[in-house]
Structure 1
Amino acid sequence: MPQPGEALPRVSRVQDRGWAWVVLAATVLVQGLTLGFPSCIGVFFKDLQSDFQASNSETSWFPSIMTAVLHAGGPLCSILVERFGCRLTVMLGGLLSGVGMVASVFSRSISQLYLTAGFITGLGSCFSFQAGITVLGYYFIRRRALANAVASTGVSIGLTLWPLISQYLLDEMGWRNSFLIFGGLLLNCCVCGAVMRPIPLPPPASSSPSSSSPSAEGAPLSNGNPLQHKEQPHLSRSAACFQTLQKYLAFDIFCKNKGYQIYTIGVSWMVMGFVLPLIYLVPYAILNGVEERKAALLISIIGFINIFMRPMAGLLSGLNVFTGRRIYLFSAAVMLNGLSNLICAASAEYSILVLYCLIYSVSMSVVGALIFQVLMDVVEMNRFSSALGLFTILESITILIGPPLAGLLVDLTGHFSYVFYASSFFMVSAALFMGVSFCTMEAKNKLKGTQKPVPENPARDKYAEVPTEPESDKNGSPAAVYVTSI
């Protein structure tokens, strides 16, 4: 039976070295399999539409549901991680994803596809992705920022490979057999989850000898699944419900923190347009005479540039000149992303579409690298997890309704170009709203000439730079979950 003093060396031998790098490699693969997967749906858009005799709006609900559930399942994933740990949650997600895609092979209507490939696969992808990111916080302490940056490249690799694989499989065996193979590929998340084994944590340094001498069976595990739970005082049902909402959905922060309120509304509006090109670019190109494989290559170009640009964007945002100003860099990237859609709407020539992909991918990389970094700047780190829960829930609602509305626009007008005009409108208006609102808020604070009273939340009522480095780990858990979901 190990003594308390023996636990610390064991943890130091695991974190930031050795098996931690295997876990990081597994997380990269999980991100490529889950977050990168929805990018290939546009390849199947016309075939699904033809097979099910569905309109553009009806067909677009399928990728919308998948992407929305992938984001909205965050609070449920957090509960599973606390109860069962990251390892089992990732494996459960892989199982759900695979089962959802295999079940979709037997769909006889587009509505059945909403449930199987949309809801079930989306929920499984959410569990695998977010639990995989969470486990990095336990395996990496000193090199956590590096680990998160490397893990985010998995999304870009997935964006690059999924469309090419999808187009090849579609040409060779049709969409049903392709989905069957996808089910087998997504089951690899179970393999990745298996290597994310929990590690024992040392007792808190401040613990007294009498309170820090549990047996090995009672030592907490560093994947969010302690073997012993503290006894909670008896609470009424309403109080327990309120406490749960407060923990996972930060409505109090939304009401009191002006910066969080502006940013959440702005990003929720932004994503209505942000996801549209990834869904409609391939069918738009094919409709305008571009060969199918070349059309699928457009999404791969976006993913390939993201592999290099996303880490560079992260390094750029870390420069001292952007300290306290990341929101403006983010707003500028959103503005550029929105304006780039006008290029695509103006012409469907392949060379113009390639130029569009280059500009779109650069701005997309900056948006993806900063979206959660800015959120860390406007809320305290000890409330980041709950702020992230509400943030992703609201974001998922607009992700859900954006593509179907765009599909309805195509059905009414008969022109795919209106999708890109709509995307440009959402992106540009969101960029202006966030940039002007934060600028106005800072100007008001300067006119007051005083800082707000010392509060519980220093980010309240103004945009404030909040340290993103975690405090010394009291129980080995990460101070925040650094998520890269865009």
Structure 2
Amino acid sequence: MTKDSANIDKDQTPRTKCRKKEFVPPDGGWGWIVCFTSLMANGTALSILNIFGILYVYLLEEYTSDDPFIFFKTSWIGSTCTIVTSLITVFARSWSEQYGIRLTAFFGAALGVIGLFSSAFMQQLELLYLTFGLILGVGGGLISFTSIVILEHYFKEHMGIAIGIVSMGSSICTVCLSIVLPFILESLGIKYTFIILGGLYCMLLLCSLTWKPLFHRKSENPALLLYKETHFVNRCSCSTKHRLNWKIFKNRTYLVWFLGFIFALFGYSVPIVHLVKHTQDAFPGSYAFILITCLQITSGLGSVIFKKIADFKCVNNIYMQQCAFVLNGVLTVSIPFSESFEGLIIICLLLGVCDGIIMCSVDHTVFDIVGPSDASQATSFLLCGVSIPFAVGPPMAGLLYGHLHTYKIAYVVAGVPPIIGAIIMCIIPRVQGSSPASTETYAFGSTTILDIDLASPSKLGSRKGYSPDD
């Protein structure tokens, strides 16, 4: 080796070395089987949360009592599951790295089966906090997280398509369950419904077995080897960060948007849980469950359509979120004042569109505010932050209904936070945001579908101000 060549090797940047050892996913083949099973797993885990409003009505019938707090207590079952599912994804990352994606997913599916089967035999309502809330919540969080992370082992060029397919799983499964579940509940009761849902979760055990992680066995780059499995690290990233970057909150633009978004979600989920019960009270004999179906259909379609719209550089994602939050608040307030069942259907269709807009624009907003290097961490903070306000709304609405025997005040109160949250976001244009962090190294910390979407090479290359070769 000559002296000049030695100097070239010595001066070779870590970025160049990283590119030489970059793992290249197969982009197809068995990956499409993995994509389908991920759709089933993610959709099943999240759809059970989405249809809790249907289960809520039959839980009230099963555990009926003269206790005025029965509506409050029952609402907390679904809220507990929501909180646990959201928070557990933070730990799911390290568990999947230490024990493997497939083992973590299988364990999550097994917990879901145990939680649902045991819920069928609970004689006291409070015990459902443990079985449905905690055990199912942990299982659902693990299975939904791993169903997204595994895609990075199989896709690169088609990552956007794979993510889009899997993200539709929640809406597809929720629509199917919202149609079928009422007939099962009416014919067999809540006990056997839990058993059937547990059997559905057994299918996820088989789905998780198809998730064989891929890794570059001959790679000498230890940054690509995480315990026994390897995750595809973002392009040009030669290290994995496992620390929390609290400096993100020094970005005042992100802080204001974070606080506004968090506040807007207080009461956001009230219609999802209490809509069926309110409709049965206001319009006896109507097929109230169809409202959940309508909401999920337009939510899925809205997410797909407005995600494409959000890609345009001329679109301000924060303004789009603000409009959606304001409309969501107005529609929520109008629910108890609807004088016809058809009016409620229209309201639910529009609520679904608002939900699709809000959720699909989160990843773009985070990316634009903090930059690509901190996008995953910023979304992780957001995920943890929204779990509490998203979950406390339904119990508070149940508490008001238990004492007032009407949902009018509950829906009016629930409609105010989204509007106030949108107003808080109006401060953002006046705030001087700190410069985005350096884009040379990306932190691997995916916790939701939004994070994977941000991490995909197609996403990084499509956003303004970023070039994959920078």
Judge same fold: TM > 0.5, yes or no: yes
Question: Cα deviations across residues 267-293 of structure 1 (Å, max 9, x unaligned)?
Answer: 22222222111101111111113436x
Q: Which residue of 2 aligns with 1:332?
A: 323
Q: Which residue of 1 aligns with 2:188?
A: 173
Q: Which residue of 2 aligns with 1:222?
A: 230
Q: Which residue of 1 aligns with 2:337?
A: 346
Which of residues 269, 285, 299 in structure 2 aligns to 1:275? 269
- Structure 2 residue identity aligned to 1:457: A
Is the contact between residue 34 and residue 129 of structure 1 (CA under 8 Å) also seen in structure 2?
yes
**What CA distance in whole angstroms lies between the structure 1 residues aligned with 2:227 and 2:353?**
46
Which of residues 182, 188, 196 in structure 1 aligns to 2:203? 188
User: Are residue 426 (structure 1) and residue 421 (structure 2) matched?
Assistant: no
Q: Which residue of 2 aligns with 1:412?
A: 403
Matched ranges for 1:385-396 at <5 A: 385-396=376-387
- Structure 2 residue identity aligned to 1:23: V
Query: How far did 1:472 drift?
Result: 10
Q: Which residue of 2 aligns with 1:448?
A: none
**What CA distance in whole angstroms lies between the structure 2 residues aligned with 1:285 and 1:374?**
35
User: Are residue 137 (structure 1) and residue 137 (structure 2) matched?
Assistant: no
- Structure 1 residue identity aligned to 2:247: D
**What CA distance in whole angstroms lies between the structure 2 residues aligned with 1:107 and 1:439?**
52
Question: Cα deviations across residues 380-436 of structure 1 (Å, max 9, x unaligned)?
Answer: 3333333333222221122232211111121232211223212210111111111x1
Distance 1:72 1:10, change over 3 A: closer
Distance 1:147 1:33, change over 3 A: same
User: Are residue 359 (structure 1) and residue 380 (structure 2) matched?
Assistant: no
Q: Which residue of 1 aligns with 2:53?
A: 42
**What CA distance in whole angstroms lies between the structure 2 residues aligned with 1:21 and 1:162?**
24
User: Are residue 16 (structure 1) and residue 31 (structure 2) matched?
Assistant: no
Q: Which residue of 1 aligns with 2:467?
A: none
Is the contact between residue 39 and residue 162 of structure 1 (CA under 8 Å) also seen in structure 2?
no
Query: How far did 1:70 drift?
Result: 1.1
Matched ranges for 1:20-31 at <5 A: 20-31=31-42
- Structure 1 residue identity aligned to 2:449: V
Q: Which residue of 2 aligns with 1:124?
A: 139
Which of residues 86, 89, 97 in structure 1 aligns to 2:112? 97
Query: How far did 1:73 drift?
Result: 1.1
**What CA distance in whole angstroms lies between the structure 2 residues aligned with 1:340 and 1:420?**
10
**What CA distance in whole angstroms lies between the structure 2 residues aligned with 1:483 and 1:99?**
25
- Structure 1 residue identity aligned to 2:32: W
Q: Which residue of 2 aligns with 1:311?
A: 304
CA RMSD between the two structures: 3.2
**What CA distance in whole angstroms lies between the structure 1 residues aligned with 2:38 and 2:215?**
20
**What CA distance in whole angstroms lies between the structure 2 residues aligned with 1:457 and 1:182?**
45
Distance 1:439 1:218, change over 3 A: closer
Equivalent pairs, count: 425
Is the contact between residue 253 and residue 369 of structure 2 (CA under 8 Å) also seen in structure 1?
yes
Is the contact between residue 272 and residue 401 of structure 1 (CA under 8 Å) also seen in structure 2?
yes
Q: Which residue of 2 aligns with 1:238?
A: none
User: Are residue 109 (structure 1) and residue 124 (structure 2) matched?
Assistant: yes
**What CA distance in whole angstroms lies between the structure 1 residues aligned with 2:318 and 2:159?**
23
Query: How far did 1:203 drift?
Result: 6.2
Question: Cα deviations across residues 232-279 of structure 1 (Å, max 9, x unaligned)?
Answer: 9xxxxxxxxxx96xx2x443322x121221222222222222211110
Question: Cα deviations across residues 316-352 of structure 1 (Å, max 9, x unaligned)?
Answer: 1011212xx2111112111111111133121152111
**What CA distance in whole angstroms lies between the structure 2 residues aligned with 1:341 and 1:153?**
24
Q: Which residue of 2 aligns with 1:439?
A: 429
- Structure 2 residue identity aligned to 1:109: Q
SS at match of 2:288: helix
SS at match of 1:125: helix
- Structure 2 residue identity aligned to 1:129: S
**What CA distance in whole angstroms lies between the structure 2 residues aligned with 1:303 and 1:182?**
19
User: Are residue 86 (structure 1) and residue 77 (structure 2) matched?
Assistant: no
**What CA distance in whole angstroms lies between the structure 1 residues aligned with 2:405 and 2:87?**
32
Is the contact between residue 100 and residue 228 of structure 2 (CA under 8 Å) also seen in structure 1?
no
Which of residues 295, 299, 311 in structure 2 aligns to 1:302? 295
Question: Cα deviations across residues 219-244 of structure 1 (Å, max 9, x unaligned)?
Answer: 9733489xxxx9x9xxxxxxxxxx96
**What CA distance in whole angstroms lies between the structure 1 residues aligned with 2:284 and 2:304?**
32
Question: Cα deviations across residues 39-66 of structure 1 (Å, max 9, x unaligned)?
Answer: 2221122331233225211110011011
**What CA distance in whole angstroms lies between the structure 1 residues aligned with 2:279 and 2:332?**
14
SS at match of 1:286: helix
Query: How far did 1:172 drift?
Result: 0.9
Is the contact between residue 26 and residue 192 of structure 1 (CA under 8 Å) also seen in structure 2?
yes
The percent identity for this pair of structures is 22
Q: Which residue of 2 aligns with 1:163?
A: 178
User: Are residue 457 (structure 1) and residue 423 (structure 2) matched?
Assistant: no
Is the contact between residue 97 and residue 120 of structure 1 (CA under 8 Å) also seen in structure 2?
yes
- Structure 1 residue identity aligned to 2:114: V
Distance 1:188 1:270, change over 3 A: farther
What TM-score results when the alignment is normalised by the length of structure 2? 0.82
User: Are residue 251 (structure 1) and residue 251 (structure 2) matched?
Assistant: no
Is the contact between residue 23 and residue 232 of structure 2 (CA under 8 Å) also seen in structure 1?
no
| Structure 2 unpaired stretches of 5+ | 1-19, 452-470
Q: Which residue of 1 aligns with 2:461?
A: none
Question: Cα deviations across residues 416-464 of structure 1 (Å, max 9, x unaligned)?
Answer: 1223212210111111111x121222xx57xxxxxx6xx6727xxxxxx
Query: How far did 1:83 drift?
Result: 0.8
Question: Cα deviations across residues 139-189 of structure 1 (Å, max 9, x unaligned)?
Answer: 221222222222211111122112222201101100011001111111222
- Structure 1 residue identity aligned to 2:299: N
Distance 1:312 1:103, change over 3 A: same
Distance 1:331 1:218, change over 3 A: closer
**What CA distance in whole angstroms lies between the structure 1 residues aligned with 2:221 and 2:81?**
45
Is the contact between residue 72 and residue 396 of structure 1 (CA under 8 Å) also seen in structure 2?
yes
